[in-house]
């Protein structure tokens, strides 16, 4: 076991953090969590010899706000394990993008994984994941990563994906607030891109800033923050067939 590691994560609805935490619990006694979804512009610099970076997959890519934060980090040859967490559809170029970003910052990628979590836009897809079976496979991966680190093996990691990466998402649609909204301000506070403001007794969302990450819909205590019903229906139609399909985690080391 390592004495300590740092888990850098962006996890609007909790799945990425959950998967990242399972992995970290398998490799280190002490885990410092750094939430890349906070509104602060700075990113704290890594202290541990090996850090873990976990990011969700949005449209087969890493969300731009995460990449921007990672580009402020200085690797200085430190080791990193990367985890791209996706909603049981596909991770496409996301893991490659995550690795190339961190390599560009001077990190040495020792292992990577594409892990499945519940789809944050269509919760019946990948429902309940990561589950007990995932936990077992992630912990087995963590043991293999520890072995690799301890024996000092330097195999180069090759992950799927293409460069130039596929086009990211640019939907200009935002979640909306239902009349049940009590204007408690939680959505405004939690929004990682500062897209939400309560103005003159109404919740106003900027389509230019919103990345549809679902942090607000997931955090709303009244369940009054939802995707516009036509978009919700479209997502369910697009992803419905994946309800009965189980994609397995993939590990690279
Ligand atoms: C805007 C958006 C785009 C997404 N794109 C994909 C995708 O391309 N492939 C996929 O399998 N899951 C996709 N998902 C699902 C998320 O990757 C998955 O639910 C992830 O666990 C979300 O992380 P979180 O629980 O930490 O918020 C998408 C989710 C959102 C909100």
Q: Determine the structural domain holding residue 222 and report its residue range.
A: 176-226
Average of per-residue pLDDT values in the chain? 96
Predicted confidence band of residue 31 (pLDDT cuts 50, 70, 90)? very high
Q: Does a structural domain hold residue 231?
A: no
16 and 50 part of one domain: yes
10 and 122 part of one domain: yes
pLDDT at position 14, please? 98
Whether pLDDT at 190 is above 80: yes
215 and 120 part of one domain: no
Is the Cβ atom of 37 under 6 angstroms away from ligand 1?
Answer: no
In order, the DSSP letters of 108-130 are EEEEEEEEE---SSSTTTTTT-S
As to burial, measured by CB atoms within 10 angstroms (0-12 exposed, 13-18 middle, 19+ buried), residue 116 is: buried
Q: What is the 242 CA–ligand 1 centroid distance (Å)? A: 13
C-alpha distances in angstroms, 222 versus 13, 118, 177, 213, 217? 16, 21, 10, 18, 10
Is the Cβ atom of 249 under 6 angstroms away from ligand 1?
Answer: no
Nearest CA to ligand 1 atom 19: 119
- Encode pLDDT of 45-58 as tens digits: 999 999 999 999 99
The domain tally of the chain equals 2
The stretch 166-193 carries a mean pLDDT of 95
Whether pLDDT at 200 is above 80: yes
pLDDT at position 42, please? 79
148 and 79 part of one domain: yes
pLDDT at position 85, please? 99
Q: Does a structural domain hold residue 190?
A: yes
- Encode pLDDT of 112-159 as tens digits: 999 999 999 999 999 999 999 999 999 999 999 999 999 988 788 999
Whether pLDDT at 103 is above 80: yes
Write out the H or E segment, with its range, that includes residue 234: helix 229-239
Three-class DSSP labels, 125-162: CCCCCCCHHHHHHHHHHHHHHHHHHHHCCCCCCCCCCC
* CATH number of domain containing 111: 3.40.50.360
Q: Is 190 left (phi over 0), alpha (psi -120 to 50) or beta?
A: alpha
- Encode pLDDT of 236-249 as tens digits: 999 999 999 999 99
* CATH number of domain containing 219: 3.30.70.20
């Amino acid at each position: 076991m390592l004495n300590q590691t740092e888990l850098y994560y962006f996890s609007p609805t909790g799945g990425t953090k959950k998967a990242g935490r399972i992995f970290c619990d398998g490799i280190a006694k002490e885990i410092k969590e750094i939430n890349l979804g906070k509104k602060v512009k700075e990113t704290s610099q890594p202290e541990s010899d090996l850090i873990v970076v976990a990011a969700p997959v949005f449209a087969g890519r890493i969300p731009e706000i995460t990449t921007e934060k990672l580009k402020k980090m200085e690797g200085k040859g430190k080791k990193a394990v990367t985890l791209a967490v996706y909603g049981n559809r596909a991770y496409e170029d996301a893991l490659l993008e995550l690795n190339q970003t961190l390599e560009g910052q001077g990190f040495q990628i020792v292992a990577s994984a594409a892990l499945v979590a519940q789809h944050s836009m269509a919760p019946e897809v990948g429902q309940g994941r990561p589950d007990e079976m995932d936990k077992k496979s992630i912990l087995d991966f963590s043991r293999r990563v520890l072995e690799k680190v301890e024996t000092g093996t330097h195999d180069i990691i090759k992950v799927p994906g293409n460069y130039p990466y596929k086009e990211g998402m640019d939907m200009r649609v935002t979640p909306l607030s239902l009349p049940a909204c009590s204007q408690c301000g939680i959505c405004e506070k939690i929004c990682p891109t500062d897209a939400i403001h309560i103005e003159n007794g109404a919740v106003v969302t900027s389509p230019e800033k919103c990345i549809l990450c679902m942090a607000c819909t997931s955090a709303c205590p009244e369940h009054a923050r939802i995707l516009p019903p036509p978009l919700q229906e479209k997502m369910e139609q697009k992803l419905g067939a994946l309800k009965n399909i189980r994609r397995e985690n993939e590990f690279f080391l």
